[in-house]
Amino acid sequence: MGSIINGKRKKVRQYLTSRYGDSLWYRDEKYCVIMSIDGKSRSVFNLQKDPLCQKNIASNPQAMKIIEKAWLFILKDAGGSIPDYRKVEKTDALGEKY
């Protein structure tokens, strides 16, 4: 049972990562980054200045460090690599090819 349900707190994560199809997502308290499965950034948002994510700052020179940090955490959570299913026609519920 999760810590929210049973009231027992474990270590709090400082960031979140997710994958939906061929898109990756990273978020911490300052930034939200959306990228493709090869690590190329699509969007970077400064959540403190732009909480509604209206202004993409990916082309800003400072964004490269944010993107690199996001990529490292995404790879860590994924176990070191991101599977590429773009040429696979079918997968099971866990994403395994068949």
For the segment 54-75, the average pLDDT, to the nearest whole number, is 95
The residue with tokens 């980054």 is 33
Q: 6-10, 32-36, 58-62, 80-84: which range is least confident on average?
A: 6-10
Which DSSP string do the residues of 28-41 spell out, in sequence order? ESSEEEEEETTS-E
pLDDT at 96 over 80: no
Does any domain span residue 34? yes
Residues 42-55: tens digit of each pLDDT? 899 999 999 999 99
> For residue range 1-43, what is the model confidence (pLDDT) as tens digits?
455 566 666 677 799 999 998 899 999 999 999 999 988 888 9
State the average pLDDT for the chain.
86
Distances (CA, A) of 4 to 1, 12, 26, 95: 8, 11, 22, 27
82 occurs within a structural domain: no
Is residue 16 a contact partner of residue 70, using CB atoms and an 8 Å limit?
no
Evaluate whether residue 95 is within a structural domain.
Answer: no
The answer to whether residue 46 is domain-embedded is yes
| Domains contained in the chain, number | 1
Task: Report the CATH number that the domain containing residue 59 is assigned in CATH.
Answer: 3.30.1120.10
Q: What's the domain range around 32?
A: 12-77
